[in-house]
Amino acid sequence: MLHEDILQRGRSHASVTLAEVIRAFSYALDLTEGQPEGHCTRACYIGCLIGREIGLEQHQLDELFYTLLLKDLGCSSNAARIWELYQADDLRFKQEWKTVPIGLPATLRFVFARSARGAPLKRRIAVIANILRNGDAIAQEMIQTRCSRGSSIAAQLGFSPTVCSGVYHLDEHWDGSGRPSHLRGDAIPLYARIALIAQIADVFYIHGGPDAARDEVAGRAGSWLDPELVAAFLRVAERTGTWSDLGSPWLEAKLMGFAPQDDTQELDEDGLDRIAAAFGQVIDAKSPYTAGHSNRVAEYADRLAGRLGVISPRRRALRRAAALHDIGKLGVSNAILDKPGVLDDAEWRIMRGHAAQTKAILGRIGAFSDMAALAAAHHERLDGKGYPLGLEDAAIARETRIITVCDFFDALTADRPYRAAMTREDALSVMQAEAGRAIDGEVFEALKAMV
Residues with a known catalytic role: 329
Contact yes or no for 159/70 (Cβ under 8 A): yes
What does the alpha-carbon distance between residue 284 and residue 298 come to, in Å, rounded to a whole number? 12
Contact yes or no for 412/438 (Cβ under 8 A): no
Whether residue 388 has a cis bond before it, omega within 30° of 0? yes
Indicate the residue type of 284.
D
Contact yes or no for 251/42 (Cβ under 8 A): yes
Whether residue 180 has a cis bond before it, omega within 30° of 0? yes
What does the alpha-carbon distance between residue 43 and residue 27 come to, in Å, rounded to a whole number? 12
Q: Count CB-CB contacts under 10 A for residue 12.
A: 6
What does the alpha-carbon distance between residue 108 and residue 178 come to, in Å, rounded to a whole number? 18
Could you tell me the CA-to-CA distances from 304 to 269, 290, 368 in Å, in that order?
20, 21, 21
The helix/strand/coil state of 419 is strand
**Contact residues for 240 (Cβ-Cβ < 8 A; gap 6+):** none
Backbone φ, ψ for residue 416 (5° rounding): -130, 160
Backbone φ, ψ for residue 361 (5° rounding): -70, -50
Contact yes or no for 266/11 (Cβ under 8 A): yes
